Structure 1
Amino acid sequence: MNKDVAIIGSGNAFFKDEGVGLYAVKYLKENYEFTPEIEFVDGGTLGFLLMPLLQEYKEVVIVNTASEEGKEAGKITVKSCNEFLEGTLVKKTANEVEIAEMLQICSMAEYMADTVLVSIVPEDIISVEVGLTTALRDIWQDYINTVLEVLQQSGVKAKRREDKISLDDILHTFAYPSIEHGRGF
């Protein structure tokens, strides 16, 4: 079965809130079934290496942090690629810079997937720690629901699995990856 929609978790799991995109996509993959099926991508800090995905799929949802001037931690935004590039992105991390530059380059290509970014303003992207600040934990379910709404607008239906995996369980997989499963997805 061809998958038309990809969801990419972007960020660095080792710098506290910067890993929120990775945690969210892993949480969605573990806790929901999607119809039609979607592709889950651990984009980590791949930046430019994600470019082929933007030409392979019809629709791409990037889930990440976006530092924006004047916006407080936990502020969730949903932006098209153009809105994201025209916005007030501060680019505080190498990953934020690479995602923005990758999108700029891809937007000039002959074909680019319809791309939406679901971003959240981080509070702490400096602490070397797998986890989330209280500000992002407090808004976690809203963030997940926002991503689900974006997927629904793309025609993707989500059904929650009965055996729920908690956010803390997801964080644990990033902090203590097993040899068998590796980090992430």
Structure 2
Amino acid sequence: MRIDPSESACHPTGDSPATIVVLGIGNLLWADEGFGVRCIEALQQRYEFAPHVELIDGGTQGLYLIQFVQAADALLIFDAIDYGLVPGELKLVRDDDVPRFMGAKKMSLHQTGFQEVLSLAQLTGKFPKQVLLIGCQPQELEDYGGSLRPVVKAAMEDALRLGMEELDRWGGNPQARSAPLSQRESVTVDELALAAYEIQRPSPEAACREGDERFFPSEVS
């Protein structure tokens, strides 16, 4: 696991933010693109936070996320970022650089939508005072129904550590969870939680992930 040295997790924050939003974006159904949402899921399962910290499964909601960005004094984002790095490598980007970075090389429609959210928040003058993007280079995206590849799954632990350090500096008061989550509290439904999602995935043959020969017949010689 290597973290891009261009950004350090150490960053002076000044006053503690009044509202902290932790946002994971991406699509669970396309392998490594689910990285951001899986980070949010893991944070919620393992930790409790101060009342002014909100964890959001942003999925692929695009402009629907504008209200959360505008309301945040500090915004922590987890996402899979295709920026030509080694698979599993993390890159940290901060503050006004985040919209420019996410708009430089979009790998999916969800990033197009979220880059627009950040730009709109800047235009309305309601952009968070502090922003940290923790991005992970994906290994595989073209696998519908697939889960995180091992190198990206392993990178989650470093990403979560960096995120927790930042939340602690921001005054988010992370503590080990004292009681299990109820189904109503969970950001992901039980069927889509990481363990269940991986166990219940059907084989390639059953799921026709590589195409159904009834509709893609072999060429007649």
Deviation, 1:22, is 0.6
User: Secondary structure of 1:52's match?
Assistant: helix
The answer to whether the aligner puts 1:87 opposite 2:101 as a matched pair is: yes
TM-score (norm 2): 0.68
Change (3 A) 1:24 1:105: same
Query: After the TM superposition, which of the residue ranges 33-42 and 146-155 deviates more from structure 2?
Result: 33-42
Change (3 A) 1:77 1:173: same
Question: 1:14 matched to which residue of 2?
Answer: 29
Specify the code of the residue in structure 2 equivalent to 1:74: G
Deviation, 1:157, is 2.2
Deviation, 1:173, is 5.0
The answer to whether the aligner puts 1:26 opposite 2:49 as a matched pair is: no
Q: Which runs of 4+ in 1 moved over 6 A?
A: 162-165
The answer to whether the aligner puts 1:139 opposite 2:155 as a matched pair is: yes
Q: Which has the larger radius of gyration?
A: 2
User: Separation in 2 of the partners of 1:129 and 1:84?
Assistant: 29
User: Separation in 2 of the partners of 1:45 and 1:154?
Assistant: 26
Question: 1:50 matched to which residue of 2?
Answer: 65
The answer to whether the aligner puts 1:121 opposite 2:137 as a matched pair is: yes
The answer to whether the aligner puts 1:75 opposite 2:106 as a matched pair is: no
User: Secondary structure of 1:157's match?
Assistant: coil
Q: Could you say what the CA RMSD is over the residues aligned between the two structures, in angstroms?
A: 2.4
Change (3 A) 1:174 1:7: farther
Alignment gaps of 5+ in structure 2? 1-17, 182-191, 201-221
- Identity, % of aligned positions: 21
Deviation, 1:5, is 1.0
Question: How many residues are treated as equivalent by the alignment?
Answer: 170
Query: After the TM superposition, which of the residue ranges 138-147 and 23-32 deviates more from structure 2?
Result: 138-147
**8 Å CA contact 1:36, 1:157 repeated in 2:** no
Of residues 147, 171, 174, the one that matches 2:194 is 171
Q: Which has the higher strand share?
A: 1
Specify the code of the residue in structure 1 equivalent to 2:27: N
Deviation, 1:128, is 0.7
**8 Å CA contact 2:82, 2:138 repeated in 1:** yes
Change (3 A) 1:111 1:37: closer
Deviation, 1:16, is 0.6
Between 1 and 2, higher relative CO (CA 8 Å, sep ≥ 6) is seen in 1
Change (3 A) 1:61 1:173: farther
Of residues 143, 146, 161, the one that matches 2:177 is 161
Question: 1:98 matched to which residue of 2?
Answer: 113
